[in-house]
Every structure is written in C-alpha cells, then in structure tokens.
Structure 1
C-alpha cells in the first residue's frame, strides 16, 4: 500500500561560501588580536559560533539567551543602519562621475572564498553585513583611485564601517549560557537565584516569553521531574557552575548597554 511507504529522508544541507575582495573585510572576518594593548575581538566565524550557541540556549527555554537574542538583533539593525549611511555617502560621491566615463566593478583578481556553516539566522544577518562592508570598501577604494575622495575620507569611512562591525562582535563576546529555564524562575529555586545574582534580572516580558526575537526558535521545556530537590541540585551544580568554566568570568553579561562594546 502506498500509505505504508516510509521515506527515510535525511537532513537538508546547502553549500554556502562567502567571497571577499578586500583586505579590510578579510580583517573583520579574522577578528582582532590583543596586540598593541587593544582588546581581543572575535571575527565573523567566532560571531557565528556564538549565535549558534545562543539559539540553542533559547531552544532550551533559557530566558537569558532570549534576552541576548533581542539585544543582538537590535545591534545588528543598528550596524546595518550605519553601513547604509556609508553606502548613501559613497553613492553620492560616485554619482559625480561624468556620463562620458564608465567605471567598471572594482573586483579582486584573486578573491578569497570562505566556507560557512551557519545554523542561526542572526549569524546569517552578520554575514550579509560583512558582504555589504566588502562591497562598500571596494567602491570606496575605487572612489579614491579616481580622485573622487581623498585619503583621509577613504580611511575615515572605512574605519566607521569596521568599527560598527567590531562593536557588534565585541558585544556578542559577552554572552554566556545561564543553564536555567523559565520553570526555575517560576519555582524561585536555587538555580534561578544564582543565575539572577550572576547575570542580573531579565525583563518581565522576556521572562514570560511574550517578547522574543523574530528569529527565536521554538522552546523545549524540561519534562516534569519527580524529585524536585535532585533537579534543583543538578541545576545549581551542573548547569550554572560548570557551564562557563572555560570562559572569562570578568565580562559583564548584563542586559543594559555597556561602554565595553567596541570603542
């Protein structure tokens, strides 16, 4: 019978890669090390990794991950706005080219192709922003080469775009998975108390689940536990204490804007 036919379908996969033409965008991809006394900032690949972890945290009903997704989504939109302003400025500059002169695309003869493994939509949004910055850099370099802008303007606009992206990545570095769920807050157990002490309060509408990122995944709540005390001890000892043992505890993961985002 056709109705008895079972199809063993695997997961969908798509090969995705990013092509970059400028050293300016390539440096954003790689991130910034701690040389010259500056703070280390992750690159795009590191940002994508954090977004994948953040999405998994939100799937596990962690209210802090939901709050972070909202915060990162807002920062992504802010960064996009900055790049759009720069794009409008370079469009205006290039519009001054005489009609008799045709300027072709300013492309690298040997671009770099980078494979991408992205499981979170917020990660893809950052990929689009880096691609936009690479295009912006190409056009700015062309504008300088054709005497439409001077060197100072070129460097200032390139730095503005790079600063916006590094500020986004710097913010993402502060994220930590809390290990608690909304049920912990409802029970006001030791795990919730410790998470609140360490990470601060979560906005009430986020805690209630009524306000989430537009890309937030469906939540998976833990099943009922017969021994509440065992659940509480596990949440405290395993989910909180051992969760971020390999991470730097000095970074403040609060949900109010900080000045630690890339200056």
Structure 2
C-alpha cells in the first residue's frame, strides 16, 4: 500500500502544465493596429496594444497570486473597465445593426471576410487577458460590418470613421488604464503587521478599502489566496478610503519570464 501511494505521488509530481494551442484571426487593419499598438517615436508617444495589455495582465495575476493587495485592487479596476468597454462596443453594434436593417428584402448581403486574414498565436495566462481578446474579436467583427455598411451606401464616410474611432478609443482606454498598474512588492501580512513595507506602499500607492485589504472583496477571476510566512500580526491603521494605487515603477512580480503574445504583420486589407 505504501509503495502504491509513493508511485501515485511520484506520478502527480511529474505532471506538467496543461497547454492548448490558441490563435486569433483578424480580418481588418483597424483591429490589427489595436493588437500591435504603436511604438514611441520622436514627437509621438507609444500606444500600448492588446499584446502589451496581455503582458500586463499576466504580471497582474502573478502579483495577486503573491498576495499583493494592490494587485487585487487593480484586478477589480480592470474587470470593471472590461465590462464598461463591452457595453460601449455593444452600443456600437446596435447602431450598426440598425443601419444594416435598411437593406431591402430583395437584396442579400453576405459576410465580408478577408481573403488573407492575419492569424495571431496567443499566449495568454490570465482570464482578464482573454476577456480583452474577446473584445478585440468583437471589434474586428464590428469593423467588418461597418465597412460593409459603408460600401453598400447605408452609412456615409464620416459615420464610418466616427464609429470605428469610438470602438478603437474604448479599447485603447482600457489598455491605457492597465499601463498604470505597478506591483507593490507587499503582502497582506505586511499590512497586518503594519511594517515599513506596508507604510511605504501606502505612501506610494494610496490606501486600500478595508475589504480589499482583508481579501473579502476580490475579482471573480482572482487566484486563491496563499498566505506565506505567517507572523504575529497587529491591527494596522489602514483606513477605508478610496485608493489611487498609481505610482512610480515598482518591482515586478516574481517569475516574469514568459512571452505574452506573438505579433504578426499587418497583411490584411479591408476590401468588401
């Protein structure tokens, strides 16, 4: 019996991580540009793309896994922003649906698919990253339908550009918010002890709501809390105020070695 248990434990210890090949297919230049973002040039600041957002979300998840309460707070902020962005894209979709509803019954419009779409391999290790991938896929579909509506004289050029820009702005606003995240390098044990690390984090990033600090309010996608190095704790003097956890760059969470995403060239065209 002991040998069987030992063999079972050995088998479990030798098991690796689950992997699944994933890719995202985009049909429009508009969605592809949002994927890549824009590198900083002289006179123009850089714009983070979806691949950069995914990288930040991977770091954010690792920070939450290490019991950093500020990472938990940022997961809540990003989750709320993702929901708002989804609502904004849904409003645009309803407007496009209304425009395409003016097609006469005698006319049949097929799907305008790119004959040479771009296929992007995905390396996403966080649920919030996947939620953003879904939003970009929605925007790509929205852009295709907008191009079709303009091609068939259902909307004019200014409406096409305005709605495309509205959708792109919603996504880039999400990515811009994520850029403000910084790993605090603290754990909840630090705040329970009210030690120097906790006090420095509060001074740098702002104070956290008590329920976030205690771990009772977390993102629905937050990893399980793992408390390490339990020490004798004392009640901290952290007050329940609205935080502003934005500051200068802090240490990156441990195990920051993975590549978030692989890009691809802008090879598709927006022909109907």
Bigger mean CA offset, 71-80 vs 37-46? 37-46
For 1:173, the equivalent position in structure 2 comes to 179
Matched, 1:85 2:91: yes
For 1:68, the equivalent position in structure 2 comes to 74
1:26 alignment partner, SS class: helix
Matched, 1:140 2:150: no
1:122 aligned to 120, 128, 139, which one?
Answer: 128
1:12 alignment partner, SS class: coil
Matched, 1:221 2:238: no
- List runs of 5+ in structure 2 lacking aligned partners: 233-247, 253-272
Matched, 1:192 2:198: yes
For 1:150, the equivalent position in structure 2 comes to 156
2:25 alignment partner, SS class: strand
Bigger mean CA offset, 16-25 vs 3-12? 3-12
Q: Classify 1:61/1:189 alpha carbon distance in 2 versus 1 (closer, same or farther; 3 Å).
A: same
2-side partners of 1:87 and 1:140: how far apart? 9
2-side partners of 1:36 and 1:157: how far apart? 29
TM-score, normalised to structure 2's length?
A: 0.80
Tell whether the 8 Å contact from 2:185 to 2:250 is kept in structure 1 after alignment. Answer: no
For 2:63, the equivalent position in structure 1 comes to 57
Please, what is the CA RMSD of the aligned residues? 2.0
Q: How many residue pairs were aligned?
A: 231
Higher helix proportion, which one?
1
Q: Classify 1:159/1:35 alpha carbon distance in 2 versus 1 (closer, same or farther; 3 Å).
A: farther
Bigger mean CA offset, 153-162 vs 92-101? 92-101
Tell whether the 8 Å contact from 2:183 to 2:250 is kept in structure 1 after alignment. Answer: no
1-side partners of 2:87 and 2:121: how far apart? 26
- What are the Cα deviations for residues 121-146 of structure 1, in whole angstroms up to 9, with x where unaligned? 00000000000000000000000000
